């Protein structure tokens, strides 16, 4: 066993021990204790705050406590700067730790669906990082480690993390600031509260916006037929009811039927197609458009609505079952 291997084992054991202790004593990690600690730090308080934020990200401590505290302690502008810097530093440290500990092993051992997912992430590069930062599909702390197991370029990861975490950082930092002002009875409490709510509404709307940008364009029947004939990895997803699927119009051979009303509950059945093309059909295309949005919000990267659905397919004289 070489020294590098021993160092990895030691780092892994130390990391697990530190995370375990952090989880056990996480009840002591609250805003009041953090505020007292920062005030005692004097002029180096901002630096210590950013380091504490980074350490919290590495040890799976809740970043929301720190983000709100940053707004309360440093105000909306400097608080955003310190929060974003600390979160980016912590995300980078976790990414590098995971890459050092296990990326080679994962690259060697991964196969099947796991390998496919990794290849999809690496293929999208910074765009995938941007998407998951704006649309938090996975917990922030866990995602940092998971992305370190891929071959994403470090510079792309850091830049996309910093840029695309900014909207949420601004919103939640301002929320912490507004909360502190409300408690202290500062002026303009109503305006500041409304501003905080407006920023949170923008952040809440971002997943839908990004999902619509990430999804593929609507395609006509001819294009759909060409894709079906040439793309063997294409999933044809029919989102009509089970009765319609075997009813008057019939269905396209090989199509998978999941009614749009059941799609959220049955999303795990489509896990193999996260990074593969999906064409959605219904009677026309209204139900398909709803299904497209649901899939895009779950991270499906290549989703298309077939314009006119089964009606246009049948009008074109194409075969059905």
Q: How does pLDDT run across 151-186, given as a tens digit for each residue?
A: 899 999 999 999 989 988 998 898 888 887 766 555
Q: Which of 177, 209, 241 marks a domain boundary?
A: 209
Rounded CA gap, 103 and 129, in Å?
17
Widest CA span in the chain: 77
Q: Is residue 66 scored above 70 in pLDDT?
A: yes
Question: Is 216 part of any domain?
Answer: no
Residues 102 and 191 placed together within one structural domain of the fold: yes
Question: Is 39 part of any domain?
Answer: yes
How do residues 137-156 score in pLDDT, each as one tens digit? 668 888 899 899 988 999 99
Q: What is the mean pLDDT of residues 9-27?
A: 86
How do residues 75-93 score in pLDDT, each as one tens digit? 999 999 999 999 999 999 9
Question: Is 321 part of any domain?
Answer: no
DSSP, res 240: S
55 neighbors 97 (Cβ within 8 angstroms): no
Q: Which of 209, 234, 250 marks a domain boundary?
A: 209
Q: What confidence score (pLDDT) does residue 85 get?
A: 97
Residues 126 and 53 placed together within one structural domain of the fold: yes
**Of 54, 46, 52, the residue nearest 82 (C-alpha):** 46
Q: What confidence score (pLDDT) does residue 214 get?
A: 53
How do residues 113-132 score in pLDDT, each as one tens digit? 666 667 767 767 787 888 78
126 neighbors 76 (Cβ within 8 angstroms): no
69 neighbors 176 (Cβ within 8 angstroms): yes
Q: What is the mean pLDDT of residues 96-120?
A: 76
CB neighbours of residue 26 within 10 Å? 15
Q: Is 27 exposed, middle or buried (0-12, 13-18, 19+ CB in 10 A)?
A: exposed
Residues 153 and 302 placed together within one structural domain of the fold: no
Considering the chain, what is the average pLDDT of its residues? 84
Residues 228 and 178 placed together within one structural domain of the fold: no
95 neighbors 148 (Cβ within 8 angstroms): yes
Q: What is the mean pLDDT of residues 44-73?
A: 90
Question: How many domains does the chain divide into?
Answer: 2
**Of 42, 23, 140, the residue nearest 83 (C-alpha):** 140
135 neighbors 207 (Cβ within 8 angstroms): yes
Q: Is residue 59 scored above 90 in pLDDT?
A: yes
Q: What confidence score (pLDDT) does residue 2 get?
A: 67
DSSP 84-118: HHHHHHHHHHHHHHHHHHHHHHHHHH--HHHHHHH
Which single residue is written with the structure tokens 């609250």? 30
277 neighbors 302 (Cβ within 8 angstroms): yes
Q: Is residue 209 scored above 70 in pLDDT?
A: no
Residues 32 and 118 placed together within one structural domain of the fold: yes
Question: Is 286 part of any domain?
Answer: yes
Residues 230 and 308 placed together within one structural domain of the fold: yes
Which single residue is written with the structure tokens 């950082």? 169
Q: Give the burial string for 110-124 (b: 16+ CB within 10 Å, else e).
A: beeeeebbbebbeeb
Q: Domain range spanning residue 296?
A: 221-315
Token pair, residue 217, equals 């364009």
Q: Is residue 51 scored above 90 in pLDDT?
A: yes
Residues 144 and 257 placed together within one structural domain of the fold: no
Higher-confidence residue of 122 and 233: namely 233
Residues in the chain: 321
DSSP, res 43: G
What's the CATH code of the domain at 234? 3.40.250.10
Q: What confidence score (pLDDT) does residue 211 get?
A: 56
Q: What is the mean pLDDT of residues 252-275?
A: 91
In what helix (H) or strand (E) does residue 235 lie, and over which residues does it extend? strand 235-238
Q: What is the mean pLDDT of residues 58-62?
A: 90
135 neighbors 206 (Cβ within 8 angstroms): yes
Q: What is the mean pLDDT of residues 264-287?
A: 90
Q: Which of 209, 238, 258 marks a domain boundary?
A: 209
């Amino acid at each position: 066993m070489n020294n590098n291997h021993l160092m990895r084992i030691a780092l892994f054991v130390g990391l697990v021990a530190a995370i375990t202790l952090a989880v056990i004593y996480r009840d002591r990690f609250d805003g009041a204790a953090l505020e007292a600690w920062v005030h005692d730090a004097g002029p180096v308080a901002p630096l210590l705050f950013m380091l504490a934020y980074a350490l919290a990200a590495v040890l799976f401590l809740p970043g929301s406590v720190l983000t709100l505290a940053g707004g309360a302690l440093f105000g909306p502008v400097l608080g955003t700067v310190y929060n974003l810097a600390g979160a980016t530093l912590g995300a980078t440290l976790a990414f590098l730790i995971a890459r050092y500990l296990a990326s080679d092993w994962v690259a060697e051992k991964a196969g099947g669906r796991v390998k496919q997912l990794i290849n999809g992430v690496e293929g999208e590069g910074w765009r995938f990082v941007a998407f998951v930062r704006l649309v938090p599909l996975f917990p922030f702390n866990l995602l940092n480690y998971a992305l370190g197991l891929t071959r994403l370029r470090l510079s792309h990861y850091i830049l996309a993390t910093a840029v695309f975490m900014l909207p949420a950082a601004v919103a939640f930092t301002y929320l912490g600031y507004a909360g502190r002002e409300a408690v202290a009875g500062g002026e303009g409490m109503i305006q500041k509260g409304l501003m905080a709510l407006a920023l949170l509404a923008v952040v809440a709307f971002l997943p839908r916006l990004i999902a619509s940008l990430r999804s593929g364009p609507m395609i006509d029947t001819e294009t759909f037929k060409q894709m079906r004939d040439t793309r063997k990895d294409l999933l044809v997803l029919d989102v009509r009811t089970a009765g319609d699927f075997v009813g008057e119009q019939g269905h396209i051979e090989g199509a998978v039927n999941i009614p749009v009303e059941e799609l959220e509950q049955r999303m795990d059945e489509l896990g193999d197609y996260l990074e593969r093309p999906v064409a959605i059909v219904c009677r026309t295309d209204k139900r398909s458009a709803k299904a497209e949005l649901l899939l895009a919000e779950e991270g499906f990267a290549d989703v298309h609505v077939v314009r006119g659905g089964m009606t246009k397919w049948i009008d074109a004289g194409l075969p059905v079952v």
